Structure 1
């Protein structure tokens, strides 16, 4: 009798990693990770541009003199050398550039630096003219927008593309806020998993852990930088300013008294250098003017008089002075407040008699403008001295680190040859999480550009990606 051998039952095949991911696709963690992942495609390039240009802007006073020593450095003749009167320096500029209109003058920032005059040329362009304060000799001029820091400022503002660049940066900033918030969720909820992966020696575990730890510190500073930068945006900032103006206040500390606006991008001590072309409050403040009839139209005051009067009024050096260009204009002297926004103060001086016409300072700002002013100081790394400066520099470097390690983590774990992007699989449980839905709606209302883009993304996901199998597979979409 022949025995029939029954073949052994094969052991069950363990589920593949892809199947395990599909099984956990509905989890909140993986869903938020998915949004964090796809948001990075927009946020990373934007943050890289902002961080690099912000770093250049921070070090502008160190970099520019090194790049333009012939214009931005002067030899001090001796220890007891005396500077020439500013009126003599102004006359030298007017003689060298007879067709230009001098708009403002900035005192030397420190010993061995030139006096800077901002002028408007006959064709309407702006230039900075550098004068040796000891001779006085005109050293030359340059377009402030053509410098390294000037280019960085323009890229930081709108990518040098106007409205399109402004909207793109604002959109990236809005999603960066979402990235920071979701990053904290992933950091807290994924702490144990990252620790297990690191102990097991999993590939990329150290990089992921470092990304999370650095991000936990960067997130707070990033949120501060993003929120303090929103007032400059063309959509959110303009709309909030419009609402504020309708209610008799303002985000900006614009002083109507200045007869001409300083053009220089090199002297950022100006308290009004970032104001929009909108009046603060209800625009009910009076614009100070000089009275030519008070002295028979004879100018008895000059730029030196304005500096002396402002010095008696307690303004800090180095000062910036706007030059009157008509009979009714005033000398508007702006005190140095680079390291202390609360010290911002402008004194308007009659160009004939040299008396103080009016003053305008931090104490006169609307409450909202005071908050924004301090936010600007923190954003630019100048409110708390060297602590603020080096803190902002470290923040820029940390943001660059995050922008590099994020894509690198994906690159190492991407499914090679699988025909898909390798995104985390998950779907936000909005029906089961009303608080999450309320949070998204609230964030969308607070940041309209984010809200509109979110609606577009959700529409594309429902109407296109989920209806085309090839796209659904490529983007790792789950039902």
Structure 2
């Protein structure tokens, strides 16, 4: 009877029904190998990412003395920014002023950032000044555009490359490259499962219970994992370079404020005196006149004779990322760059990076990142437990034989191969490791068949 029914099925339908088991076998093998061999990298990335999500609050505690000012007396107004800058330069005359972050609210210090020789790349010396007394509260290295102080900068580097430099970046690129493959493959496998549910089966026991928790949890966090993978790849060594090339080719790069001359050599920021003579309060007022509001960064020009740049730094709300150029001599605004005028791709990039860094919407973003990291760690542990429960020595047969995916129809294999070539060219570490996995699976399948 069954054979009669199969004979009545259209050839195309029979082909599709035969193709799916082999395609599912390929997904299972890839998911298995990625789970066993790539999961340790994902585990490290998730654990260090969990630490990074907590580093913002940790930074406030560890560096509280430098970040907070003495309470102001009733009616006491902050000192002019020029006097605060002078206090910082008198305490630390070395280097040149790179930028100033005026105190964003009462109880916060002003941060004067100095370009000092000998510091690591993207690092400046931050001098913290009490805006009411002019007292220098401390000096710390400040890393990157977000101004990460030592504790957060250390955790950030640990997450990015395990403090191993460029070789260490390969671990994070491998993890980010495979994360989206594992997430999407897991969703497809779970949706194809007969007992798929949105919630774990609490009545199940043993292997079925582990599978239920692993699958349903993965389904809930899949979108978050795809986001982390896509944004993480933008920082990677090889895939990140390809992302930059693609953005440039398509015109999706973030625009920059045109370099506008407006000062003179006396305001270059070199040394201790001339830079402090800039009327920074007038610069802030000029920026406020165009709609900019704090927290702000006043960036000194890299070359003598340039304008100062005032940037909004409140990345909790991405639309507040405007910036203007101001002539330090006249106090006139000489150029504007509005976030609303960015290309959509540039806006998405900004939001994605800020979301991955945990600064988008502040504490809520950090809590979400921590929850994602904990969920991924749990998923990995459940995956290894499932592998242990299903090991052959316990009498469980593999759902598909090694190398069984080769039985898929030629069109399916060609389509998968073409997709693998394209993805592998864009994400090289993923492509190389994918070839290794498939080669290993073929060899193991032949060894088993010959024995």
TM-score bracket for this pair, using the shorter chain length: 0.7 to 0.9
User: Which string of whole-angstrom CA distances, capped at 9 and with x for unpartnered residues, describes residues 165-219 of structure 1?
Assistant: 3333222212111101111122122342899x96885424323211211111111
Tell me which of 391, 412, 432 is aligned to 1:452.
Answer: 432
Q: Compare the two structures and name the one with the higher helix fraction.
A: 2
2:56 equivalent to 1:64? no
Structure 1 residues 221 and 433: CA distance shift in structure 2, 3 A: farther
In structure 2, C-alpha distance between the alignment counterparts of 1:46 and 1:325, rounded to whole Å: 40
Q: Which runs of 5+ in 2 are unaligned?
A: 1-20, 144-148, 268-273
**Closer, same or farther in 2 for the Cα pair 1:312/1:446, shift >3 Å?**
same
Tell me if structure 2 keeps the 8 A contact 1:87–1:303: yes
Which residue in 2 is equivalent to 1:131? 129
Q: 2:41 aligns with which of 38, 46, 53?
A: 46
Divergent runs of 4+, >6 A: 197-200, 420-424
1:82 is aligned, of 59, 77, 82, to: 77
- Separation in structure 2 between the aligned mates of residue 60 and residue 109 of structure 1, nearest angstrom: 20
**Shift of residue 59, structure 1, vs aligned partner:** 3.7
2:235 aligned with 1:232: yes
Correspondence for 1:441: 418
Match of 1:361 among 338, 351, 354: 338
Shift of 1:29: 4.1
Q: Using structure 2 for the length normalisation, give the TM-score.
A: 0.79
Q: Find the counterpart in structure 2 of residue 151 from structure 1.
A: 154
Cα shift at 1:347: 0.8
Equivalent residue for 2:252, pick from 250, 253, 260 = 250
Matched, 1:377 2:354: yes
Match of 1:112 among 99, 102, 107: 107
- For residue 421 of structure 1, report the CA deviation from its aligned partner: 13
Question: 1:390-424 CA distances to partner (integer Å, 9 max, x unpaired)?
Answer: 43332222222212222233234445699x99897
Find out whether 1:287 has 2:287 as its counterpart: no
**Measured at CA, do residues 421 and 138 of structure 1 come closer, stay the same or move farther in structure 2, by a change above 3 Å?**
farther
Question: Bigger radius of gyration, 1 or 2?
Answer: 1
SS in 1 for 2:295: coil
| Mapped partners of 1:408, 1:79: distance in 2 | 62
C-alpha contact (below 8 Å) 1:46/1:173 kept by paired residues:
no
Note if contact 1:324-1:351 (Cα within 8 Å) is conserved in structure 2: no
Structure 1 stretches lacking a partner, 5+ long: 1-25, 258-285
- In the alignment, which of 259, 277, 281 is matched to residue 304 of structure 1? 281
Asked if structure 1 preserves the Cα contact closer than 8 Å seen for 2:82 and 2:278, the reply is: no
Worse-matched range after superposition: 142-151 or 130-139: 142-151
